[in-house]
Amino acid sequence: MPNPTDIYPLIHRALMAEDIDTKLAEVAAQRAGWLDGSLRRVGDDTVVAVPVPGRPVRPTLVPSSQLLQRKLSTQEGHAALVHAIAHIEFNAINLALDAAWRFRDLPDAFLADWLQVAAEEAQHFAMLRERLQSLGFDYGDFPAHNGLWQMTCKTDHDPLVRMALVPRILEARGLDVTPGIQRKLTGIGDTATVAVLDVIYHDEVGHVQVGNYWFTRLCDERGMEPLATFRQLVADYDVYVFKGGFNREARLRAGFSEFELKMLEDFSVVRDPS
């Protein structure tokens, strides 16, 4: 086999790609190259800051408070819901690429995990975009917010903090809300999007499990107690833990303990701003 190519410049290229189809193709190629051994970690450890990843000009990004609430019974409301989920998945591609690109002190297994997550997030986005197009819309037709990437920036200094607050808080929330969204879509007869969400839901359990694994491992390596550390990070970074509605079955499969779920429920009551 010829000498492998350094994967890091290619991850950066995918992360900064503004064209959607280019980003999706780059992510798939990197995952394939890692699996067949043609791409490896053979370069230096220089990390160039990525304050803003590549994204198309649209959608327009606005504060979440400025997003319109549309009725699901309308054509636009139906499409806006699918668009919102697609936007989360698009951001999740960049988030996974950033983890693979940024945290180079961790072993190959960490890089492999996040390349796989990026590839699956890209597949999710592509499926949702296809659903949007079938509804007469496309990605970018509705405004969106940038909360997921903002948390990525806040956690770019430490993989332990990133694993604690992004997969275990923001992404895990998707496990909580997806069944309810599926019920709403079933109610308007959109079984095709429900089927797509079935695939996403299954994969997202694995993504949260990846975050749980690396958070726990990093805590163990640093001699830190995971539950106390997690609770302190949630407080230090002022992360809002949603009140109630935790999907216990899915979170347990993703690596949360019963005790930890009880802690989260208690914490959400204390911090509920309503």
Domains belonging to the chain, first-starting first, are 71-271 (1.20.1260)
Q: What is the pLDDT, as a whole number, of residue 272?
A: 42
Q: What is the pLDDT, as a whole number, of residue 45?
A: 65
Q: What is the pLDDT, as a whole number, of residue 241?
A: 66
C-alpha 177/C-alpha 162 separation (Å) is 22
Q: What is the pLDDT, as a whole number, of residue 271?
A: 46
C-alpha 39/C-alpha 127 separation (Å) is 27
Q: What is the pLDDT, as a whole number, of residue 274?
A: 38
pTM (2 decimals)? 0.92
Q: What is the pLDDT, as a whole number, of residue 150?
A: 84
Q: What is the pLDDT, as a whole number, of residue 4?
A: 85
Q: What is the pLDDT, as a whole number, of residue 134?
A: 97
**Which residue positions in the chain have pLDDT lower than 70?**
1-2, 44-49, 240-244, 267-274
